[in-house]
Structure 1
Amino acid sequence: MALLERVSTLLRANVNDLIDKAEDPEKMLKQLLLDMENQLLQVKTQVAIAIADQHLLEGKRKEHDEAAESWQRKAELAVSKGQDDLARAALDRRLSHQQLSAGFAQQIEDQRVEAELMRSNYNKLQQKLKETEARCELLIAQQRRARAVGKANTARSEVESKSFTQPIDRMRMKVMGSEAENAAARALLDDDLAADSLDDRFRKLEREDKIESLLSDLKSRQTRSA
């Protein structure tokens, strides 16, 4: 997310304002282009990684779907042979793979959204870079002429540069807010851990009931088909 924040900052940048505030506008413009090129390369790399991760997650989900189907067939075979304990174990495995598959499905959707966001930012930054490159020579020429004004422009730049304290103050408040959120999250986590043991016992009971229900249903279907 830090990379996306930097990209957003570059996309919002007003080149004319930066020119007014820079002590060496020509150097600043070159640095701006260099920063944008570096960010563009990083975003492109992250987009590729995000897409690759999405494909990997899809492969994992497919593996668990196939495993769940395999354990279902094994449970059916065990029931047909009258081995209920073996059928229960197979159904338990099937449930596990189904739950993992569902988890991967959610991760795939989250990854897809993230990849689309990165791709959108990449396209915007690429367009912004092209526009900035086209304007740089003109802006540099304009600034060179403006240097003739001398000390008046220098004084103006120094006064306008004080506005940089505002984003610093905003960042400080953001950091303080993040620290408070982290403290609250740790407190909630401590409360959740205290209840985990009891919750696990009830989840185990519910899982056993579900397996018994699945076993009963499987037996009924095989009896009807016999």
Structure 2
Amino acid sequence: MVKQSILGRISTLAKANINAMLDKAEDPQKMLDQMVRDYTNNIAEAEAAVAQTIGNLRMIEDDYREDQDASRSWGQKALAASQKADDFRSSGDTASADKFDNLAKVAIERQMDAERQMKSAEPTITSQRDIVERLKTGLDQMKVKRQQLVSKRDELTARAKSAHAQSAVADAVKSIDLLDPTSEVNRFEEKVRREEARVRGQQELASSSLDAQFESLEDLGEQTEVEARLAALKAGQSPAQIESSAAEGQNLQLDYAEDETATRAQA
């Protein structure tokens, strides 16, 4: 009964499925800390109870030794009284001999009483010694389980912190994902692309307008040559002379164009 009453109070904690209990906890770390505290307190209570049980055993053992000493002492007194009675009887003093024989009988009765006390205490001492050994073993097992609980708490706490950190990192990476079409960076990039496209469109438009201007200039030059040749014919020049004059003019224009190109290249 003693063993059951001491260790029974912590049997639930000793056999508890820690992971199943943690599933229902809002804050697993706090729950684990509380479990360690409760288990430590239960161990302290068990230690006090075991110490009390050991103390009771030691008291019974002390009483047993006192009965042993009393048995030996009364046995010696009985022997001394018996020897004294024999001495008186040998000397013819029957009254004194009877007196000491009666004292020897009293001593023997006391010795037997002490022996009975010892005999009745022996089963109790044997039982209490067995209980104390079991309690010590149970207490050692409790301490081992407490250490396992502490290690389990530290492991689960570390794993929980690691999982939380990984989740935080994943959230951070997700928030800065440049490929996310809803991100601010992607929208800004799209804005820049539209601006670049607009500039290219303006450049193409400007280039087309410049080409048209040069084409109009070429058309104007050809019309001018037509007018010049017509005027030369009316002035009495032959077609050969007009063609020769036109060729010289084209050569001059080519020379001017080359000079202009060289000048631009140097600039």
TM-score tier after normalising by the smaller chain length: 0.5 to 0.7
Q: How does 1:3-152 map to 2 (within 5 A)?
A: 3-22=6-25, 24-80=27-83, 81=85, 82=97, 83-140=100-157
Q: Which residue of 1 aligns with 2:234?
A: none
Q: Which residue of 2 aligns with 1:158?
A: none
Q: Is contact 1:7–1:121 with CA below 8 Å preserved after alignment?
A: no
Q: Which amino acid aligns with 1:121?
A: G
Determine the C-alpha separation between the residues in 2 that align with 1:106 and 1:25: 49
1:120-175 CA distance string (max 9 Å, x none)? 111111111111111113334666869xxxxxxxxxxxxxxxxxxxxxxxxxxxxx
Name the count of aligned residue pairs.
146
1:71-101 CA distance string (max 9 Å, x none)? 1122222333133332222121111111111
Q: Is contact 2:6–2:49 with CA below 8 Å preserved after alignment?
A: no
Determine the C-alpha separation between the residues in 2 that align with 1:24 and 1:99: 62
Q: Which amino acid aligns with 2:18?
A: V
Q: Is contact 1:11–1:124 with CA below 8 Å preserved after alignment?
A: no
Local SS of the residue matching 1:78: helix
**Percentage of identical aligned residues:** 29
Q: How does 1:170-185 map to 2 (within 5 A)?
A: none
Q: Which residue of 2 aligns with 1:201?
A: none
What CA RMSD, in Å, does the superposition of the two structures yield over aligned residues?
2.4
Determine the C-alpha separation between the residues in 1 that align with 2:42 and 2:104: 55
Determine the C-alpha separation between the residues in 2 that align with 1:67 and 1:131: 51
Determine the C-alpha separation between the residues in 1 that align with 2:101 and 2:25: 79
Q: Which has the higher contact order (CA 8 A, sep 6+)?
A: 1
Q: Which residue of 2 aligns with 1:213?
A: none
Unaligned runs of 5+ residues in structure 1 are: 147-226
Q: Which amino acid aligns with 2:146?
A: L
Unaligned runs of 5+ residues in structure 2 are: 86-96, 165-267
Q: Is contact 1:46–1:118 with CA below 8 Å preserved after alignment?
A: no
Q: Which amino acid aligns with 1:72?
A: G
Q: Is contact 2:60–2:121 with CA below 8 Å preserved after alignment?
A: yes
Q: How does 1:205-216 map to 2 (within 5 A)?
A: none
- CA separation of 1:23 and 1:96: change in aligned 2, threshold 3 A: farther
TM-score, scaled to structure 1 = 0.56
Local SS of the residue matching 2:37: helix
TM-score, scaled to structure 2 = 0.48
Q: Is contact 1:75–1:91 with CA below 8 Å preserved after alignment?
A: yes
Determine the C-alpha separation between the residues in 2 that align with 1:102 and 1:28: 52
